[in-house]
Structure 1
Amino acid sequence: MVSATKAEAVHVPSEFEVLITGIGKVSAAVAVASALADYPRTDKPLVVNIGTAGALHEHHSGLFTPSTVLNHDISGDAIRALGHEVADLLALPDGDGSVLATGDLFVSDAGVRDVLARRADLVDMEGFAVAYASARGGARCRLVKHVSDTADDSALDWPARIDASARELGRWLAAL
C-alpha cells in the first residue's frame, strides 16, 4: 500500500505493508521508485495507492478505482508541439471508468475545479506519479481514492475529513 500521509493509511489492515510517500508528485514518484528498486526484477509487484481525492462533479462521492490518470499541471500539448514526447495520461487496468487528475496544485477553488471537471472526475496530488513510477519500475498499479471534498472551499476542511476516508479505504482493503 502506498499513501501520501499516515492519516490516510491509519486504518490499513495490519497484514499490508504501507509506504508513506509525503504529499505531491515528486515525493510520491521518488518514494515509489526507491521502494521498487529493492524488488527483484523477476517479480512484478502490485502497487496500490490509497488516499483521498476531491470530487470534480457534485454527484461523485464514495470510493473510486480510476481507469485513467492524467497529469493535469504539465503542458503536454505545448511540449509535444516543440517536438518532445511527454507522458501525461496513463490507462490503468481493472478500473471503474473514472478519470483522476493529478497535480501539485491543492484544488480549493470552484473555478479551477470546473476547468478540471471537463477532463476528469476526481483530483489528487499523487496518483499519476505513483502510476508512472510503478510503470517505469515494472510494477502493476491500482489507484483507490475516496472522495473527501468537492475541490472547492470545502477542501480547506480536508484535515478534518481524512479519517472518514481512511476508514472507508481500510474497509475496502479488508474486503480483499
Structure 2
Amino acid sequence: MNEILVVSATESEARHVPERFDVLITGIGKVTAAVAVTAALGRYPEGRRPLVVNIGTAGALRSTHGGLYFPSTVINHDISSEVLRSLGHPVGDTLAFEDGDGTTLATGDSFVSDAEVRDALAVRADLVDMEGFAVASAAVHMGARCRLVKHVSDHADETAMDWPQQIDHSARMLAEWLVRTY
C-alpha cells in the first residue's frame, strides 16, 4: 500500500492523478466523504496509515482568490455549534493544519451558488467546499495525517453553476501539484 491516499469527491476532480497514487473517490457531501475515508483507512494497519491528501475544487468567497490553496483551518460551517455548546454539548467544528497557507476552508452540505450566502460565509472563511472537513475529521479520528489541497473553480455565486465545465482545469492543476510535491 502507498504512503499517500489521494481523496477526491468525484472522479472528474481526480481524472488526471497519475496511476502510481492510490485514489479514493468518496462521492459528494460530508457523510459520504467521512464514511468512505473511515472505511478506507480501516484497511490499513493502525500506526501505518497513509497521509490523506484531499484534492478538489472549491468556491472562492472573495473575488481576489483564485488558483491553488492549502488551508490552515477547515470549519464545519453548517452545524449549529454555538447552540449545541450553549446546551452543554461540545461540538468540534474546526480543525487546524500546520502546513497550510493561512486560509480557512468552510465545508458544508450546501452547494453555494448565491452571492448573499457566499458573503455571509466570507466573514469566517476564504473558500467553501462540501467534503474537506469530513475528510480531515475522518483522517484525524483514524489516526492519519491529512492535507487539504483545493483549486478555485468558481466564486460561490451564479458562476458556481459552471462548475461542471471548470472541473477539468482544476483537476489538471491538482494533479500537477501532486506530481511536483510527491
Q: Give yes or no for TM over 0.5.
A: yes
Q: Is the 8 A contact 2:41 2:49 kept in 1?
A: no
1:3 to 2, 8, 14: 8
Q: Which ranges in structure 1 are unaligned for 5 or more consecutive residues?
A: none
Distance across 2 between alignment mates of 1:31 and 1:44: 15
RMSD: 0.6
Q: Is the 8 A contact 1:62 1:147 kept in 2?
A: yes
Distance across 2 between alignment mates of 1:11 and 1:95: 23
TM-score (norm 2): 0.96
Q: Say whether 1:96 aligns with 2:101.
A: yes
What is the deviation of 1:15? 1.1
Q: Does 127-136 or 33-42 show the bigger shift?
A: 33-42
Q: Say whether 1:31 aligns with 2:36.
A: yes
What is the deviation of 1:93? 2.0
Identical aligned pairs, as a percentage? 68
Distance across 1 between alignment mates of 2:147 and 2:106: 15
Matched pairs, number: 176
Distance across 2 between alignment mates of 1:143 and 1:95: 8
Match of 1:71 in 2: 76
Q: For 2:149, what is the secondary structure of its paired residue?
A: strand
What is the deviation of 1:126? 0.1
- Deviations along 1:17-38, one digit per CA (max 9) or x if unpaired, are 1000000000000000000111
TM-score (norm 1): 0.99
Q: Is the 8 A contact 1:69 1:99 kept in 2?
A: yes
Match of 1:155 in 2: 160
